[in-house]
């Protein structure tokens, strides 16, 4: 069926989209607005200004404009590592002996190792354009922090990264990449912020969490002249920037007559999934085409499949606005045995609304199965995938195996968000057969839900 | 001058060469043959058979056939990660404010992280075709071992890697990549070989060396039914396979009207440099074109610039054949403060002969200057380069800065062999400003030369 197309499809440079697609414009029910936790009322532009860059707030609030031009400098930067290839996974198909056709959109061919760079450079650009001195952010595994460091270095901005302490200590290599790009890295919780000092006092010896690092980054941005806070997932603006993934994928499909039936992505905060599916979901919302869209999340942090659709804080320290999303509660902490990323308790409000309205489905997978899929993918397709991405691979393999049962010749596109070069401690666990699975009990989830704010 | 061409040039899949170019066919003086150290006579096909795969011996000995077809299965594998991009370093040029034009051929977009895969898959293919069970090899930093593990996994061959003990311990992540591809990894020196036991008895507590690991891998191959030894550099066959780098680069130059004046590569054993320059050097040897060809080597291991052109062992244990090459003597051990690769005492016999005959030049650079170049490259071009590759970057920057002095608008092509994701301990040294330089004294070099075999 796809015998005549190249193994790897690279678009021409002039086929890289020059505008992002804003999926919200086509949503029949728009995502709920961010709320001020103090008043329970929607946050205004002015209220967000101390935290976020002006232009990014406009993008965050814009539910109507379908296409937003990508600034020239951002387009130039994109050309450094884009277009990313859409690859026909012929060797994986052969190993699975499936009639299904599997394609993957690979976002890992850049030094940040993931798709995060697509939004980082946009956010750094708007911060620079506003005349800011720098930005603050948090990072867990380090992909977002690396992407932002690269982007700030390129734009000549200062970059302050709060890195979850356990990652800071266990992943010194990511830290060094960020330092090479001139960023300053603070292990979180730290003594440099009020929220950090409070958390350290309450939980001496804590190794930190993403939620806590967010709190520190926000406090620092608000309290430092010429700084704003930037975030690599969850927010509407991030999904907007990440739409470039899906737009390139769709252009490649049209150019080479590829007709996807299923589109699969991993889901932590939703940045990659939201970007990958954007233009396809747009067609679906407009009734122009139909696709099966599947979010794959870890069974140990199952926001979609076992969470509640409710307003919640985006961080542990409860300093952020409230977002309406599928959430396990901001007090929920994934098991320490959880190796990969995708540890966030919540989910993009855009994706949450679409899931709630029945436009996409979600599955939860366990981590040993995820690493089995990763190993098979590495051995057949020659790319060592990130644990996050491997959730999508697991989902795609499961769909391809169903096709083997039914004989259906479905076409599957999966989002391969990045590489696993900095996740080899997890691979070592898998290689040593010391990796285990974990599924939270209903009681554990109830504890998380109990902390949901009353709105 | 090059305003109209894409930032990154990807050839079409059908433009990937279907034959390797054998530079030896055009050499006026052929590289000297490998010698049997016992007799001092050239090794015959039959003498090499216990060590190497048959077809690879034929390629090793073939100084006449200009083009050798790439087997279909190897071409299929190449399509997984090739063609590699030829990228116009516009952001680096801008940062240097130079009239020079810099292009880099980037071989790092694959999980082995370097060009090594180009020869690994060919060698694994021929081993499989011969009906062998597996292959043995050595690895230092781990790039070659990773490439071979991937290739053996793809071909269904067993892969036994002897990894220099200090790397085995300090680079557990590379080890885990190899394990993910199913290879077995033994820290060298080990108790599993006679030469390993001898070295351990003579030097208790040694952290190993590449030369010692070679000795163990050769002994294991010769002593195990159905196994042969494979090597990722130095040999003629390796340069043959690596010619794909240069052939793709040349095709891209012709397609986009790029006229290189200078071609620059880093030189350890010579695999990348030899591959990159092959077709350009061929034109030069045939008198069809002229290029300035520059090998960049570390000042701490200066085979070309301070070595002797003489017959020497390829390993420390003195179990390999003798090769005529520029060498520091197989007893020479680079300073422990040397961070990057390129630690090999010798050099490809092909490149050695060409250098001896005046067709190329060489420069030696110090490591802090190399990492300064790496940092600038990472920040401007968005790729964190391997320390090895950064030698070529240093060389290219120095040439571009000369152009800035003279106003010459030269076109430079540099070989960017790979990424530095597994070299962040060295980057950390650089970031911490604890990195130092080292240049061996004449007396130290004399000690190495004193151990050269009498032929």
Residue B303 near residue B326 (C-beta atoms within 8 A): yes
Nearest to A176 among B109, B380, B431 (CB): B431
- The pLDDT tens digits for A225-251 are 999 999 999 999 999 999 999 999 999
Tell me the shortest Cα–Cα distance from A13 to chain B, in angstroms. 6
- Residue B433, judged by CB atoms within 10 A of its CB (0-12, 13-18, 19+), counts as exposed
Between CA A391 and CA A264 the distance in angstroms is 9
Query: A-chain residues within 8 Å CB-CB of B384?
Result: 111, 177, 180
**B371 in contact with A, Cβ within 8 Å:** no
Name residues whose C-beta falls within 8 Å of residue B131's C-beta, 6 or more positions apart in sequence.
B226
Between CA B368 and CA B376 the distance in angstroms is 12
Of A212, A225, A120, give the one whose Cα is nearest residue A166: A212
Name residues whose C-beta falls within 8 Å of residue A442's C-beta, 6 or more positions apart in sequence.
none
First to last CA, chain B: 53
Q: Output the pLDDT for position B411.
A: 98
First to last CA, chain A: 53
Residue A411 has pLDDT above 70, yes or no: yes
Residue A171 has pLDDT above 90, yes or no: no
Containing H/E element for A331?
A: none
Q: What is the mean pLDDT of residues A147-152?
A: 98
- Residue A417, judged by CB atoms within 10 A of its CB (0-12, 13-18, 19+), counts as buried
Q: Which of A37-51, A338-352, B268-282 bottoms out in mean pLDDT, i.e. has the lowest? A: A338-352
Name residues whose C-beta falls within 8 Å of residue A290's C-beta, 6 or more positions apart in sequence.
A284
Determine the number of helices (DSSP H) and then strands (DSSP E) in chain B.
Answer: 18, 15
Name residues whose C-beta falls within 8 Å of residue A338's C-beta, 6 or more positions apart in sequence.
A298, A300, A301, A367, A438
Residue A177 has pLDDT above 70, yes or no: yes
Class level of CATH domain B8-15+77-113+242-450: alpha beta
- Residue A148, judged by CB atoms within 10 A of its CB (0-12, 13-18, 19+), counts as buried
Between CA B286 and CA A39 the distance in angstroms is 81
- The pLDDT tens digits for B40-93 are 999 999 999 999 999 999 999 999 999 999 999 999 999 999 999 999 999 999
Name residues whose C-beta falls within 8 Å of residue A369's C-beta, 6 or more positions apart in sequence.
A394, A437
Of A304, A258, A248, A262, give the one whose Cα is nearest residue A397: A262
**Residue at token pair 């499936």:** A98
Containing H/E element for B441?
A: none
Tell which of A111, A118, A256 to mutate to test the B interface (max B CBs under 10 Å). Answer: A111
- Res. B339 pLDDT band, cuts 50 70 90: low
Q: What is the mean pLDDT of residues A289-301?
A: 96
Residue A354 has pLDDT above 80, yes or no: yes
Nearest to B176 among A177, A179, A431 (CB): A431
Q: What tokens appear for A168 in the block?
A: 């800071």
Between CA A40 and CA A36 the distance in angstroms is 5
Residue A56 has pLDDT above 70, yes or no: yes
Q: What tokens appear for B228 in the block?
A: 């042969």
At A169, phi and psi to the nearest 5? -85, -40
> Across chain A, what does the average pLDDT equal?
95
Residue B205 has pLDDT above 90, yes or no: no
Distances (CA, A) of A173 to A84, A223, B303, B431: 25, 29, 31, 12
- The pLDDT tens digits for A417-450 are 999 998 998 999 999 999 999 999 999 999 999 9
Tell me the shortest Cα–Cα distance from A118 to chain B, in angstroms. 13
Q: Output the pLDDT for position A207.
A: 84
Q: What is the mean pLDDT of residues B299-303?
A: 94
Name residues whose C-beta falls within 8 Å of residue A271's C-beta, 6 or more positions apart in sequence.
A115, A116, A119, A232, A233, A234, A238, A239, A242, A348
Residue B201 DSSP symbol: H
Residue A409 near residue A403 (C-beta atoms within 8 A): yes
- The pLDDT tens digits for B303-331 are 999 999 999 999 877 888 999 999 999 88
Nearest to B379 among A109, A153, A419 (CB): A153
Cβ within 8 Å, pair A180-B431: yes
Between CA B233 and CA A221 the distance in angstroms is 51
Q: What is the mean pLDDT of residues A35-64?
A: 97
- Residue B358, judged by CB atoms within 10 A of its CB (0-12, 13-18, 19+), counts as exposed
**A309 in contact with B, Cβ within 8 Å:** no
- Res. B336 pLDDT band, cuts 50 70 90: confident
Task: Select the more confidently predicted residue: B338 or B444.
Answer: B444
Cβ within 8 Å, pair B180-A383: no
Nearest to A379 among B8, B181, B428 (CB): B181
Nearest to A111 among B13, B80, B383 (CB): B383
Residue B87 near residue B7 (C-beta atoms within 8 A): yes
The residues facing B383 across adjacent strands are: none
- Res. A340 pLDDT band, cuts 50 70 90: low
Between CA B195 and CA B206 the distance in angstroms is 13
Between CA A5 and CA A289 the distance in angstroms is 23
Q: Output the pLDDT for position B342.
A: 83
Q: What is the mean pLDDT of residues B354-376?
A: 97
DSSP H helices in A181-269: 194-202, 210-223, 236-255
Between CA A392 and CA A382 the distance in angstroms is 17
Cβ within 8 Å, pair B182-A153: no
- The pLDDT tens digits for A7-43 are 999 999 999 999 999 999 999 999 999 999 999 999 9
Count CA within 13 A, CB hemisphere, residue A81.
Answer: 30
- The pLDDT tens digits for B219-239 are 999 999 999 999 999 999 999
Q: Output the pLDDT for position B299.
A: 95
ipTM of the shown complex = 0.94
- The pLDDT tens digits for A107-122 are 999 999 999 999 999 9
Q: How many residues does chain B have?
A: 455
Q: Which of A167-181, B207-221, B327-341 bottoms out in mean pLDDT, i.e. has the lowest? A: B327-341
- The pLDDT tens digits for B390-427 are 999 999 999 999 999 999 999 999 999 999 998 998 99
User: Model pTM?
Assistant: 0.96
At A114, phi and psi to the nearest 5? -155, 180
- Res. B429 pLDDT band, cuts 50 70 90: very high
Residue-by-residue DSSP string for A393-441: HHHHHHHHHHHHHHT---EEEEEE-BB-TT-HHHHHHHHTT--------
Task: Select the more confidently predicted residue: B320 or A401.
Answer: A401
**Residue at token pair 């709105």:** A455
Cβ within 8 Å, pair A424-B177: yes
**A102 in contact with B, Cβ within 8 Å:** no
Q: How many residues does chain A have?
A: 455
- The pLDDT tens digits for B11-32 are 999 999 999 999 999 999 999 9
Domain boundaries, chain B: 8-15+77-113+242-450
The residues facing B135 across adjacent strands are: B159, B228
Helix (H, G, I), strand (E, B) or coil at A164: strand
Residue A341 has pLDDT above 90, yes or no: no
Of B316, B145, B342, B344, give the one whose Cα is nearest residue B214: B316
Interface list for A 389-448 with B (CB within 8 A): 419, 421-422, 424-425, 427-428, 430-431
Q: What tokens appear for B214 in the block?
A: 């070679």
The residues facing B326 across adjacent strands are: B309
> Across chain B, what does the average pLDDT equal?
95
Q: Output the pLDDT for position B329.
A: 95
Q: What tokens appear for B7 in the block?
A: 């930032």
**Residue at token pair 């122009």:** A288
Between CA B150 and CA B137 the distance in angstroms is 13
The residues facing A351 across adjacent strands are: none
Sign of CA dihedral A292, A298, A300, A301: negative
Q: Which of A146-155, A441-450, B164-173, B437-446 bottoms out in mean pLDDT, i.e. has the lowest? A: B164-173
Between CA B351 and CA B266 the distance in angstroms is 12
Residue B188 has pLDDT above 70, yes or no: yes
Between CA B190 and CA B222 the distance in angstroms is 17
Q: Output the pLDDT for position A1.
A: 84
Residue B357 near residue B309 (C-beta atoms within 8 A): no
Between CA B50 and CA A196 the distance in angstroms is 64
**B379 in contact with A, Cβ within 8 Å:** yes
Nearest to B109 among A80, A109, A384 (CB): A109
Q: What share of chain B is helix, strand, coil (3-state, %, to 5)?
A: 45, 15, 40
């Amino acid at each position: 069926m796809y015998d005549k197309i190249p193994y790897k499809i690279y678009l021409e440079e002039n086929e890289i989209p020059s505008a992002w697609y804003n999926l919200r414009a086509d949503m029949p029910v728009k995502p709920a607005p961010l709320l001020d936790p103090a008043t329970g009322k929607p946050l205004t532009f002015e209220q967000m200004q101390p935290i976020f860059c002006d232009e990014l707030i406009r993008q965050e609030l814009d539910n109507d404009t379908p296409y937003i031009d990508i600034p020239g400098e951002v387009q130039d930067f994109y050309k450094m590592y884009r277009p990313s290839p859409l690859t026909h996974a012929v060797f994986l198909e052969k190993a699975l002996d499936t009639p299904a056709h599997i394609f993957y959109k690979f976002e890992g061919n850049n030094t940040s190792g993931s798709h995060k760079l697509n939004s980082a450079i946009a956010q750094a650009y708007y911060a620079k354009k506003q005349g800011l001195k720098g930005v603050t952010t948090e990072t867990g595994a380090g992909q977002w922090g690396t992407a932002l460091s690269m982007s700030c270095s390129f734009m000549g901005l200062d970059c302050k990264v709060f890195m979850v302490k356990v990652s800071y200590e266990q992943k010194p290599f990511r830290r060094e990449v960020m330092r090479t790009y001139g960023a300053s890295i603070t292990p979180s919780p730290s003594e440099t912020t009020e929220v950090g000092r409070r958390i350290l006092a309450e939980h001496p010896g804590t190794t930190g969490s993403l939620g806590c690092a967010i709190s520190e980054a926000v406090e620092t941005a608000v309290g430092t002249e010429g700084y704003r806070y930037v975030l690599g997932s969850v927010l509407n603006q991030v999904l907007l920037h990440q739409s470039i993934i899906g737009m390139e994928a769709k252009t490649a499909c049209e150019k080479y007559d590829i007709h996807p039936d299923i589109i699969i992505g991993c889901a932590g905060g939703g940045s990659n999934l939201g970007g990958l599916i954007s233009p396809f979901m747009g067609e679906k919302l407009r009734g122009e085409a139909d696709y099966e869209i599947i979010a794959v999340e870890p069974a140990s942090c199952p926001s979609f499949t076992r969470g509640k659709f409710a307003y919640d804080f985006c961080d542990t320290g409860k300093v952020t606005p409230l977002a309406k999303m599928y959430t396990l509660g901001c007090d929920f902490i994934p098991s320490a045995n959880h190796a990969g990323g995708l540890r966030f308790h919540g989910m993009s409000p855009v994706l949450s609304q679409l899931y709630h309205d029945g436009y996409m489905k979600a599955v939860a997978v366990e981590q040993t199965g995820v690493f089995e899929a990763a190993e098979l993918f590495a051995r057949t397709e020659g790319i060592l995938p990130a644990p996050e991405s491997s959730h999508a691979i697991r989902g795609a393999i499961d769909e391809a195996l169903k096709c083997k049962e039914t004989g259906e010749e479905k076409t599957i596109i999966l989002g391969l968000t990045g590489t696993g070069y900095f996740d080899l401690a997890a691979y070592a666990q898998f290689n040593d057969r010391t990796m285990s699975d974990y599924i939270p009990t209903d009681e554990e989830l109830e504890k998380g839900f109990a902390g949901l704010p009353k709105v």
